[in-house]
Amino acid sequence: MARFFLTTPLYYVNARPHLGHAYSTIVADAVVRFRQQLGENASFLTGTDEHGQKIQRAAEAAGITPQQFADANAARFREEWDRLGLRYSYFIRTSESRHNAAVGEVFRRMQAKGHIYKGEYSGAYCVHDELYVEGEPGTPCPTCGRATEKLTEENYYFRLSAFQQPLLQFYQEHPEFIRPEARRNEVLAFVQSGLRDLSISRTSIRWGIPVPGDERHVFYVWLDALCGYLTGIGYGSPLPADQQRFHELWPAWHLVGKEIVRFHAVYWPAFLMAAELPLPRGIIAHGWLLFEEEKMSKSRGNVVRAEPIQRVMGADALRYFLLREVSFGQDGSFSYDALVARYNSDLANDWGNLAARTLNMIQRYFGGKVPYPAAGVAWLHQDLEIMRQAEQARDSLRAAFLDYHFARGLEAVWQFIAGLNRYLVDQEPWALAEKSDAESRSRLATVLHIAAESLRFTAILLAPVLPESANRLWQQLGLEGDAAQRIDGLTWGKIPVDQAITQISPLFPRLEKAAAVEQLRKLEAEAEAASLPPAAAAGAAAAPPAATPASANQAAPANQAAPANQAAPANPPASSAPAGKASSPPDAAASPAVPPAAARIPIDDFAKVEMRVGEVKTAERIPGATKLLKLTVDIGTEARQIVAGIAEAYAPADLIGQKVVIVANLEPRKLRGVESNGMIVAASVEPSGKPVLVSVPADTPNGSRLR
């Protein structure tokens, strides 16, 4: 049986997962389900990238150890994937001990072949991207644009320069290695312009895997993380079963976001060549999800989370939206409006109504048994056309999905669905049912048989993308097993004779658009407020999370999808979901309950935080947000717009003219779509977490710095 093994990136644990991470993992899940329906032995690996300076700093800022920090956030990734029903087979955390040994082994192999030497690096480094950057320190990072930092330290170097020609030759021999074409061209240009040796160890940080035999060094986080693809499936294990699994699965296909193609398409194959291990089969790069016109990312503060969407409309709706709306390989915009619009038009109207209509007519006119077309009655041209369209949808979807053109594949199925809806309108089975003559009865049987068989087709074809709803349709059709049947072997006419349908329930109850969007925004804002660092939320984070699963549902006028979700075995009802915010492990970055294990910090760290005195000039509530106020604060040199979670403790009018302390050098972030340029400092008074503003005497000049 053909094997197909795919990986997602191993996500950094400096923050909780957002929709960008969910996108990659959902794509991997859909691809693997699709390949399984082609009869392949397909699986995927995901995991978390836990070492390096970025995580070390985030943990320091939270006052806990990097391991505690990583444990809390890695658990969140796993929970998120489980909640979304993503069926990864392997999950690797790079702080696991099984991983340490494997990275050391790859290094030893590279060293044994003479590809490693010791030297000193002095130059620019981007901590955000964990990337060595050419040029003077301070030069903007080519990936994220942030200012690079100066780094001077003794390192082990990898002779990347020696792999320029072998890599170019490899790309030439494997034109499909990097896709899409645009990314391949970028990589070719980068390698053709010359490769410099690469530092692969660090001495100035401790949070990493020690270099065997020279433990002052820890491995460069990208060497460490990339090796996770090997360790996650058994590489380096002494157990024969693990070794066998590794040999069966490796090499992998790597699915990545476009910003990390260079690591996967240049460094990684070079490392593997040096270690004399087989190279990956290929790199499949996707574009970015944009929100409010910018890349969705934690640091820009414009993230959307999957969980509220899943709670309001189900995980399938999110999967469908991402695969249908985004042209795979290119950037795609996310918006709540578009999400709800697609849900209503494609899922509720087109597919959901088709299913409900057909099943209801079978129930009403044939006592719940799929009718069999009368023998000896010739099919009309329109009947044959539906058969043809079903087979065409199957072939188009198969070809498109094999090529990662998910939107195109889904479009083909929706053309078929539209054709089928038109067919029902033209054939008017409800009118045929009014007539009692034998010919009308036979015609009615044929039409509903064709519609039922077509529904079986759609369930199978859509199972990779809409697994839960496809299975519900499958059950309603009364069919055995599940909808994940073979796509390549799918042929017309296999619905059993006199097949008894089961209880009918809507696949996608229609959502009232404005209410649904409002509900989504509300849940997102609450989830966001619950995850802010304690002072940033100024009370909002420390207060009990507002979005407990139960209250969220009660407050949800738009949550008509709940009954449908409850019916779904794979998707527990939101009200009983154990993984709601209230019961998730503490957000390491946010929770005041985590013991401050590394509470003392050098004075330099404190100096990075720029706190200034300001005066509130305007204050107003943000519509629909119970905790948030939008403030304008005069800090001497400028007026800053700041969003603060203090609305439950302070009335806007009382704040005007009040002196406050703000953190002035935070990156901007958006709360409820409103940009916040800084943070108001407040004490969080237990047990309720009530915010109490920190202030200074009224005559302190605006802009004075706190040191």
Where on the chain is the footprint of ligand ME8 (CB under 6 A)? 9-12, 20-21, 23-24, 49, 225-226, 228, 256-257, 259-260, 288-289, 295-297
Which residue is listed with tokens 């005007």? 656
Give the residue from 90, 86, 77 showing the smallest Cα distance to 5.
Answer: 90
CA distances from 148 to 128, 144, 154, 297, 516 (A): 9, 10, 19, 19, 42
Which residue is listed with tokens 């449908």? 564
> What minimum distance in Å lies between the beta carbon of 257 and ligand ME8?
2
Residue 121 or residue 271: which is nearer to ligand ME8 going by CB?
271
Give the residue from 637, 636, 639, 645 showing the smallest Cα distance to 679.
Answer: 645
Contact predicate 323/689, CB 8 Å = no
Query: Which residue sits closest to ligand ME8, CB atoms considered?
Result: 20
> What minimum distance in Å lies between the beta carbon of 98 and ligand ME8?
16
Strand duo 611-621 + 659-663: pairing? antiparallel
- Integer Cα distance of 313 and 323 in angstroms: 16
> What minimum distance in Å lies between the beta carbon of 177 and ligand ME8?
17
Residue 220 or residue 343: which is nearer to ligand ME8 going by CB?
220
> What minimum distance in Å lies between the beta carbon of 49 and ligand ME8?
3
Residue 389 φ/ψ region, left for φ over 0, alpha for ψ in the -120 to 50 degree band, beta for the rest: alpha
In DSSP terms, 4 is beta-bridged to: 42
> What minimum distance in Å lies between the beta carbon of 426 and ligand ME8?
42
Q: How far is CA 202 from the centre of its chain?
A: 30
Residue 221 or residue 448: which is nearer to ligand ME8 going by CB?
221
Residue 154 or residue 259: which is nearer to ligand ME8 going by CB?
259
> What minimum distance in Å lies between the beta carbon of 215 and ligand ME8?
23
> What minimum distance in Å lies between the beta carbon of 183 and ligand ME8?
12
CA distances from 618 to 651, 670, 694 (A): 12, 18, 18
Which residue is listed with tokens 């017309």? 492
Residue 148 or residue 231: which is nearer to ligand ME8 going by CB?
231
Q: How far is CA 31 from the centre of its chain?
A: 15
Q: What is the 3-state secondary structure (H, E, C) of 303-359?
A: CCCHHHHHHHHCHHHHHHHHHHHCCCCCCEEECHHHHHHHHHHHHHHHHHHHHHHHH
> What minimum distance in Å lies between the beta carbon of 478 and ligand ME8?
40
> What minimum distance in Å lies between the beta carbon of 366 and ligand ME8?
47
Cβ-count burial 107-145 (b if 16+ within 10 Å, e if not): bebbbeeebbeeeebebbbbbbbbbbbeeeeeeebeeee
- Integer Cα distance of 39 and 37 in angstroms: 5
Strand boundaries in 461-505, DSSP class E: none
Residue 260 or residue 661: which is nearer to ligand ME8 going by CB?
260
Residue 230 or residue 432: which is nearer to ligand ME8 going by CB?
230
Give the residue from 274, 268, 49, 282 showing the smallest Cα distance to 179.
Answer: 282
> What minimum distance in Å lies between the beta carbon of 14 and ligand ME8?
8
- Integer Cα distance of 279 and 274 in angstroms: 10
Residue 294 or residue 620: which is nearer to ligand ME8 going by CB?
294
Residue 250 or residue 288: which is nearer to ligand ME8 going by CB?
288
Residue 44 or residue 416: which is nearer to ligand ME8 going by CB?
44
